[in-house]
Structure 1
Amino acid sequence: MIHYRVGGIRVAEDISLDSMRSGGSDGRFNRRAIRVDEAQGRVLAAAARAAIEQVPLAEAGGRRLAQQLLATSDWPPFARAGLDGYAVRAADTAQASPESPAALRVIDTVAAGEPALAAVQPGTAARIMTGAPVPQGADAVVMLEQTAEGMAGDERTALVKAAARPGQNVAPQGEEFRLGSPIAEPGELLRPGHIALLGTFGYADVPVYKRPRVAVFATGSELLPVAAPLAPGLIRDSNSPMVAAMIRQHGGEPLLCGALPDEPEAVREALLGIGAEADMIVTTGGVSVGDYDAMAMLLRGLSPCEPAQQLSGVSQERLLFNRVSMRPGSPTSAAWMGGKLVLALSGNPGACFVGFELFAAPALRAMQGDPSPQHRKWKAVLAREIGKGSPHDRYIRVSLQYGEDGRIYADPLAFGKSSMTASIADAEAIAVIPSGRNGAAAGSIVEAWLLPQ
């Protein structure tokens, strides 16, 4: 018989060893393991889209666009010279050669940023600079190196030494974009090239999704602040700053809320008390089946969410799942509390890292409008044997290398146990090792989920 509290209620329960050993579920908390893809689907369905805000163009890099943006003009807005030289009619240079150059009267000089003042007529040319508008009548630009200057009486003459083709060295109006054509789509991650485009078309302010605010709680009475000296039986809370860094890496804003005691009622009050400050909540620790695992006790008291249930606007607390068929991090859980998605990750650093990448990272990207929030996946060759089998799929931290054979190799990192921290910094991908009696042989083809670097 064990005793614990859920929502302030004292519960007594008789736990048999046989029930705790039952195949697909945890007897104490009746936890049925679901597959990773099903768990991801439930999390994404509960991830509410963030609000939209306008930010200055210079601050829009790294944000996700909230609406389609269109070209506000043709681009280029006029036929533009691609280099320094002479704007000509190609037909006037058809017979030109170094031995017999075409002599054309120079009627104008056109600089970038200035309009052309005269049209190019048969037998004439205009000196032109890179980026300047091509004068009316001209259909080609001959580079300066293929010309020479001369005089015919008191008039300047361009001696063209090579035949020009129509359109040569001219960027026609609308070559890249036409007025009203799409330049960026909703959900796109705005990179420097996007910023250049938006500036080109006059978007001084840009509609983007707000960065989701994520409250981070650590559970466990054994946790110390990072700055505190170690004491017997106590460890520093390294998960919270790691999770905060991962939140930023995926476009969110972390709210570090400190450590919570091993009391389900206190944990519940803290999660609900975050109120409007956060858009999502991530906890670490307390999700296993120990006598003091407060998150597991708290989540046990929630009613399960129906698969098709829409959670937006639902005030009742619901359990999404409390066990996932995965290693590490099988106790990873998720719930709907206080109108927010709550992700309860393992307290073991390696399992916490993997759980965040599998569930929190896609949720954050979805909240910011990413149309493809899941990780990019490559096929890779397993560089070293994974000798041990597992009843669950395993998600192994790996580094990636290009082999001499042109293939990508996934090399399992040392110190890869769920409780270990040393290899997290070197992880470039997570390789999926399917469940089974045996592990995976070196040379096997595995799926590698790419991590942000």
Structure 2
Amino acid sequence: MKDQKFQRRALQVKEAQAKIIKCANPLEPQEVSLNECCGRYLAEEVIAPHPFPAFNRSSMDGYAIIAADTNHCVNGQVVWLEMVDNIPCGAVQSVDITSGTTARIMTGAQVPSGADTVVMLEVTETRVEDGKTYVGIRKKQEAKSNITPMGLELSPGELVLPAGRLISAGDIAVLAAFGIHTVKVYRQPQVAIFATGTELLEVHEPLQPGKIRNSNSPMLEALVKEAGGEPVMLGSIVDDLELARIKVQMALETYDFVITTGGVSVGDYDIMGDLVREQSGDMLFNKVTMRPGSVTTAAVRGGKLLLALSGNPGACFVGFQLFARPVIRLMQSASQPFLPEWSATLGTDYSRVNNFTRFVRARLEIRDGSLYAFPAAIDESSVTVTIKDSDCLIVVPPEERGLSAGAKVTIIKLPGEIRG
């Protein structure tokens, strides 16, 4: 088994991604209330059940009139119209508007039948005669002015939101406007997480000689939540193959997706690589032409995906973004499962040379409207602290033999705001 640790066929990142996402099947839909659907993925398209707006709506406070009644407003001549109705927002007309009449109307109120325009309050005057109110208009008005027509935004039967869309606040506003109070979304995958390594301490434990605290599992927990999954924390285990075998099997039988960290390299105590190779027929890959994280391993067991990430924090972080995040999103039928790739200007020289594609942690800055990427000063696989300062990953192809400041580079934008 140890000899086989060195017999690995390395795949390109895109090839490895294609293999793993092919196994990421959408989970079953479920209905949730409108106030629970933000950040979830739509399981069915939403079609407009009625026009929006649902009626001709006044866009300002003023008077609903027939525009033709103002045709004689020339040379300062005033046209006087009898006010026959008052329509506040939320009310409807009591009489139709006919030639020579008008209705007081508020912003957002339904325009009464017969009226074809709204004249703003500020350009009118009023007088009262014999208990009746008349409205004077000095300027000719154009038909359809200051009216938001019925169906301007959406017509009945028109697509409102496509399936697979990540629901945002704006989407919720539209759903609420159409009276859609329950929404069909894809179930969030339950993602089991555990770490391997005799050297690991729990976060609350004091440091001991030769030991380190398990920082990868809490990081993965946060990353799973960020990707839309439900993390299930299974703790850490010592370097014991049989114990790992039992824990992995239990997790695969219980949860939708299993992520482990540690134990995938070629050392004598790297048990996860041994465990995955026990059933080589379902292995997707066990080496990827990337730095950090070339030992990233993936397999399918009983129809469930198992992703074994490096125990090095930097490699664990990068491996999650490239492989686990799109899987979690595709399990919810996301239309855009991968992080976006942008173009940026390199802010400082990067001299490191690699045989594999390197994904360099970096921070972004916007200067004079242009995007700059600054590589982390320390980008070793084992380094933890620079993860917190990273807005993106700079993609450095293997053929590059050093990059100079000012060079155009491809970046993978990480979730969150640009802090530079």
TM-score, length of structure 1 as denominator length? 0.89
Residue of structure 2 in register with 1:31 after alignment: 8
Q: C-alpha distance in 1, partners of 2:73/2:20? A: 70
Aligned to 1:349: 313
* Secondary structure of residue in 2 paired with 1:46: coil
CA contact (8 A) 2:363 2:375 kept: yes
The equivalent residue for 1:81 is 58
For the Cα contact (< 8 Å) 1:247–1:254, is it kept in 2? yes
* Alpha carbons 2:292, 2:314 under 8 Å: kept: yes
How far apart are residue 265 of structure 1 and its match? 2.5
Identify which of 307, 322, 339 aligns with 2:286.
322
Checking the alignment, whether the CA contact within 8 Å between 2:5 and 2:273 is kept in structure 1 is no
* Change beyond 3 A, Cα 1:155–1:31: same
CA-based RMSD of the aligned residues comes to: 1.5
Alpha carbons 1:272, 1:338 under 8 Å: kept: no
Judge conservation of contact 1:391–1:437 (CA < 8 Å) in 2: no
Q: What is the correspondence of 1:10-409 to structure 2 with a 5 Å cutoff?
A: 28-96=5-73, 99-304=76-281, 318-404=282-368, 406-409=369-372
Once the 2 structures are TM-superposed, how far is the Cα of residue 98 of structure 1 from its aligned partner?
A: 9.2
Aligned length, in residue pairs: 416
| Per-residue deviation, residues 120-173 of structure 1 (Å, max 9, x unmatched) | 111111100111110111111111111111124432111123332211111111
Kindly state the Cα deviation for residue 95 of structure 1 after the two structures are TM-superposed: 4.0
Identity %: 42
C-alpha displacement at 1:114, in angstroms? 1.4
Q: Measure how far apart 1:100 and its partner are.
A: 2.8
Deviation at 1:261, TM superposition (A): 2.1
Picking from 423, 426, 438, the partner of 2:401 is 438
Segments ≥4 residues shifted beyond 4 Å: none
Does the residue aligned with 2:351 lie in a helix, a strand or coil? Answer: strand
Deviation at residue 396 of structure 1 after TM alignment: 0.6
Secondary structure at the aligned position of 1:125 is classed as: strand
What is the Cα deviation at residue 296 of structure 1?
Answer: 1.0
- Contact 2:252/2:301 (8 A) holds in 1: no
**What is the alpha-carbon distance in structure 2 between the residues aligned to residue 68 and residue 36 of structure 1?**
33
* Aligned residues of 2:66 and 2:115 also touching (Cα < 8 A): yes
Deviation digits for residues 367-421 of structure 1 (CA, Å, limit 9, x no counterpart): 11111211111111111111121000100111111222x3211111223211111
Q: Which runs of 5+ in 2 are unaligned?
A: none
Q: Quick one: structure 1 residues 73 and 124, their matched pair in 2 at CA, closer, same or farther if it must change by over 3 Å?
A: same
Number of the residue aligned with 1:19: none
C-alpha distance in structure 1 between counterparts of 2:45 and 2:400, whole Å: 50
In 2, the alpha carbon distance for the partners of 1:411 and 1:98 equals: 68
Q: Does 1:413 align with 2:376?
A: yes
CA positional deviation for 1:116:
0.8
Q: Write the letter of the residue equivalent to 1:364.
A: I
Offset at residue 439 of structure 1 (A) = 2.1
Answer with 334-343 or 236-245: which moved more.
334-343
Q: Counterpart of 1:24?
A: none
Which SS does the other structure have where 2:385 is aligned?
coil
3-state DSSP of counterpart to 1:388: coil
Deviation at 1:87, TM superposition (A): 0.4
- SS of match in other structure, 2:198: coil
SS at match of 1:381: strand
Q: Deviations over 1:201-254 (max 9, x none)?
A: 111111011111100010111111110111111111000000000000011010
* Secondary structure of 1:420 counterpart: coil
Contact 2:119 2:146 in 1 (8 A): yes
CA contact (8 A) 1:388 1:438 kept: yes
- In 1, the alpha carbon distance for the partners of 2:395 and 2:413 equals 11
1:287-317, CA deviations, whole angstroms, 9 ceiling, x for partnerless residues?
Answer: 110000001111222224xxxxxxxxxxxxx
SS of aligned partner of 1:54: strand
Q: Distance in 1 between matches of 2:245 and 2:78?
A: 87
Read off the aligned partner of 1:324 and give its amino acid letter.
Answer: V
User: C-alpha distance in 2, partners of 1:163/1:265?
Assistant: 88
Is the 2:34–2:180 Cα contact (8 Å) retained in structure 1? yes
Question: What is the CA distance between 1:338 and its match in structure 2?
Answer: 3.2
Any idea what SS the aligned residue of 2:228 has? coil
Question: Is the CA contact (8 Å cut-off) linking 1:97 and 1:160 kept in structure 2?
Answer: no
Q: Give the structure 1 partner of residue 386 of structure 2.
A: 423
| Partner Cα distance (1:350, 1:422) in 2 | 9
- Gaps of at least 5 residues in structure 1 are 1-10, 16-26, 305-317
Please tell me whether the aligned partners of residues 32 and 184 of structure 2 are also in contact (alpha carbons under 8 angstroms): yes
Most deviating of 285-294 and 407-416 = 407-416
Counterpart contact for 2:252–2:304, Cα < 8 Å? no
Matched residue SS, 2:86: strand
Residues 132, 224 of structure 1: alpha-carbon distance in 2 compared, 3 angstrom cutoff: same
Separation (CA, whole Å) in 2 of partners of 1:267 and 1:183: 48
Secondary structure (helix, strand or coil) at the match of 1:414 reads coil
Provide the C-alpha distance between the structure 2 equivalents of 1:97 and 1:263, rounded to a whole number of angstroms.
95
CA distance in 2, matches of 1:350, 1:174: 52
1:331-358 residue CA offsets vs partner (Å, 9 max, x unmatched): 0110112321111111111111011001
Quote the offset at 1:83 in angstroms.
1.1
